[in-house]
Chain A
Amino acid sequence: MRIGIVCPYSWDVPGGVQFHVRDLAEHLIRLGHEVSVLAPADDETPLPPYVVSAGRAVPVRYNGSVARLNFGFLSAARVRRWLHDGAFDVIHIHEPGTPSVGLLACWAAQGPIVATFHTSNPRSRVMIAAYPILQPALEKISARIAVSEYARRTLVEHLGGDAVVIPNGVDVDFFARAEPREEWQGRTIGFIGRIDEPRKGLPVLMRALPGILAAVPDARLLVAGRGDEEEAVAELPAELRSRVEFLGMVSDEDKARLLRSVDLYVAPNTGGESFGIILVEAMSAGAPVLASDLDAFAQVLDQGEAGELFANEDAEALAAAAVRLLGDPARLAELRERGSRHVRRFDWSTVGADILAVYETVAAGAAAVATDERTGLRGRWGAARE
């Protein structure tokens, strides 16, 4: 199959959607498909051979944070050229609601279009105002994919219609085969995520830490992620600060090794998550998971079967659960085993097959993707005037 994938966010900046697109493209290429990815990128950035740049992305305040997006005449022309040269059997647009190349591709293309909705933003004023503008573009999409049941519900509420649920993929074996590192072992609790983003929940974990250390004095917390380390431990009593180790930004290999090493992985995120790829990665590496009971997390953890849940933002509940788990090796072993079994359904082999099934379903009854030339419109308009 000739597959075109559109990524709305800048390829130079790491992010969940970018990683998903990269892994999906590489998985499909390994299966022998012809894949081209269109993504915003600086012209100087070295790109993998399958990526086509849609031009430079500009930082814009959008939806509460600064996103690097790409729009304007030049980008629209590049999108058209990419569609025209690619002659794709199907195009797969990620986050089509974001004002970036995804939306431009939606405007410019006709034919089998698949779209994946990653985020599940609560209904915003922007969305309501933009609805009449978005609708004609979004209604061209032949198949919608939501990354979780939770994301699907919000999608149905906002835009109506329906979507199939296909979770994000993870290379399970990459994590399962990583070598544990000795200095990260021995009563360690792991946390991976932006330190300075309260949404990721490190403050909750910091409030719980004194309680955990009171019961398990030899426990250590390993934190991997960008942000101000001083500020993160500011609320912690000085004598406990030595029990927290900051590893900074870690590579993919080190992330896998960290997850292989820790006794317990804690995900105290307080909201705004639509999937929870990090939980899947932790389970792939065989780390027992303790996570806040967000809808998305509960679903990834099979309602608490594959990992434990605690009441969101409740530091005491987190501390109690962590202490109980660290003192119960049998339960930890059980969680490791269950997690490793449960996580197979998120492996790229399964997820990729599902996504291909969607491509084949929409491509079966339709012609190939083409640029929407609107000659019909001009022709009709001309005829109407004569």
Chain B
Amino acid sequence: MTTLIWIAAALVVIGVYLSWTAGRLDRLHARIDAARAALDAQLLRRASVAQELGTSGLLDPAASIVLYEAAHEARQAAEEQREVAESGLSQALRAVFDDEGQLEAVREAPGGEQTVTELTAAVRRVPMARRFHNDSVRAARAVRRHRVVRWFRLAGHAPFPMAFEMDDEPPAGFGDRSGGR
């Protein structure tokens, strides 16, 4: 009789542990979804402001074309080309705005101040959102690699989480804060 009780108790403990781990994993997946949504929002915001700048006529024609092209690419890219296209936009922004005079010129134009504020905010928040996203991916992966999770298939059908890798280095003078990166 006691043996039976012990076995039942052990099963209960195992059950609780498995259920708790599944809940933990579920929460981690929810966190990734939220972080990915936030990252998408920031990337889209950045591409929109860049595209707006490209068509505003505030920049010289060559810079306008480069910026418009890159922003358009980034917005239209298919999921598997997204990382490359967004990196391309970062490079275009650096090519255009590494010269600090350019930013000043935009700022002096009517309505330019607001555009610059939006652009700097978006450019600063992309690396932030990406860090938070990749951090959540790492946390979920660490749990998913666990033996118990693999044996009991606690992750269900959720796809294996992938980090978002891109070049998000801001142009010089944009994110100029100590250790801001």
What is A's interface to B at a CB cutoff of 8 Å?
A: 110, 112, 136, 139-140, 142-144, 148-149, 152, 160-167, 299-300, 302, 342, 345-346, 350, 354, 357-358, 360-362, 364-366, 374, 376-377, 380-381, 384-385
B38 touches A136 (CB 8 A): no
Q: Which residues of B contact A365 (CB under 8 A)?
A: 33-38, 41
Residue of A nearest to B28 (CB): A139
Q: How far is the CB of A338 from the nearest CB of chain B, in Å?
A: 13
Given A139-B28, A377-B23: A345 in contact with B178 (beta carbons within 8 A): yes
Residue among A144, A358, A362 facing the most chain B CB atoms (10 A cut-off): A362
B135 interface residue (CB < 8 Å to A):
yes
Give 1 or 0 for each of B36-70: 1 = CB within 8 Å of chain A CB. Answer: 11100110000000000000000000000000000
B132 touches A361 (CB 8 A): yes
Given contacts A142-B136, A365-B35, 12 further A-B contacts (CB under 8 A): A139-B31, A140-B31, A142-B34, A143-B135, A148-B179, A345-B178, A358-B128, A361-B125, A362-B132, A366-B37, A380-B22, A381-B16
Residue of B nearest to A114 (CB): B132
B181 interface residue (CB < 8 Å to A):
yes
A299 touches B34 (CB 8 A): no
Q: Which residues of A contact B16 (CB under 8 A)?
A: 377, 381
B135 touches A161 (CB 8 A): yes
Given A161-B138, A165-B179: A361 in contact with B42 (beta carbons within 8 A): yes
Number of A-B contacts (CB under 8 A): 105
Q: Which residues of A contact B132 (CB under 8 A)?
A: 142-144, 164, 361-362
Q: Which residues of B contact A165 (CB under 8 A)?
A: 179-181
Interface residues of B in 140-181 (CB under 8 A from A): 142-143, 176-181
Q: Which residues of A contact B179 (CB under 8 A)?
A: 148-149, 152, 165, 167, 299
B15 touches A384 (CB 8 A): yes
**Nearest 4 Cβ contacts at the A-B interface:** A365-B37, A365-B34, A366-B34, A365-B38
B19 interface residue (CB < 8 Å to A):
yes
Dominant SS among interface residues on chain B: helix
Q: Which residues of A contact B42 (CB under 8 A)?
A: 361
> B131 contacts which of A139, A162, A381 (Cβ < 8 Å)?
A162
Q: Which residues of B contact A362 (CB under 8 A)?
A: 34-35, 38, 132
> B128 contacts which of A139, A302, A361, A380 (Cβ < 8 Å)?
A361
Residue of B nearest to A300 (CB): B178
B177 touches A357 (CB 8 A): no
Give A345 to B132 CA distance when docked, in angstroms. 23
A376 touches B23 (CB 8 A): yes
Q: Which residues of B contact A139 (CB under 8 A)?
A: 24, 28, 31, 139, 143
Give A163 to B132 CA distance when docked, in angstroms. 7
Q: Which residues of B contact A136 (CB under 8 A)?
A: 24
B177 touches A350 (CB 8 A): yes
Given A112-B34, A361-B125, A364-B38: A345 in contact with B177 (beta carbons within 8 A): yes
Q: Which residues of A contact B176 (CB under 8 A)?
A: 345
B135 touches A162 (CB 8 A): yes
Give A143 to B135 CA distance when docked, in angstroms. 8
Given A357-B128, A365-B36: A299 in contact with B178 (beta carbons within 8 A): yes
Residue among A110, A143, A164, A385 facing the most chain B CB atoms (10 A cut-off): A164
Q: How far is the CB of A252 from the nearest CB of chain B, in Å?
A: 24
Q: Which residues of B contact A302 (CB under 8 A)?
A: 178
Q: How far is the CB of B25 from the nearest CB of chain A, in Å?
A: 10
Q: How far is the CB of B126 from the nearest CB of chain A, in Å?
A: 10
Residue among A110, A162, A167, A302 facing the most chain B CB atoms (10 A cut-off): A162
Give A299 to B15 CA distance when docked, in angstroms. 50
B139 touches A161 (CB 8 A): yes
> B27 contacts which of A140, A354, A384 (Cβ < 8 Å)?
A140
A384 touches B38 (CB 8 A): no
Q: How far is the CB of A136 from the nearest CB of chain B, in Å?
A: 6
Q: How far is the CB of A340 from the nearest CB of chain B, in Å?
A: 15
Q: How far is the CB of B15 from the nearest CB of chain A, in Å?
A: 6
CB-defined A-B contacts under 8 Å, sample of 30: A142-B31, A142-B34, A149-B179, A160-B142, A161-B135, A162-B138, A164-B128, A165-B180, A167-B178, A167-B179, A300-B178, A354-B124, A357-B121, A357-B124, A361-B125, A361-B128, A362-B132, A365-B34, A366-B34, A366-B37, A366-B38, A374-B23, A377-B16, A377-B19, A380-B19, A380-B23, A381-B19, A384-B15, A384-B19, A385-B15
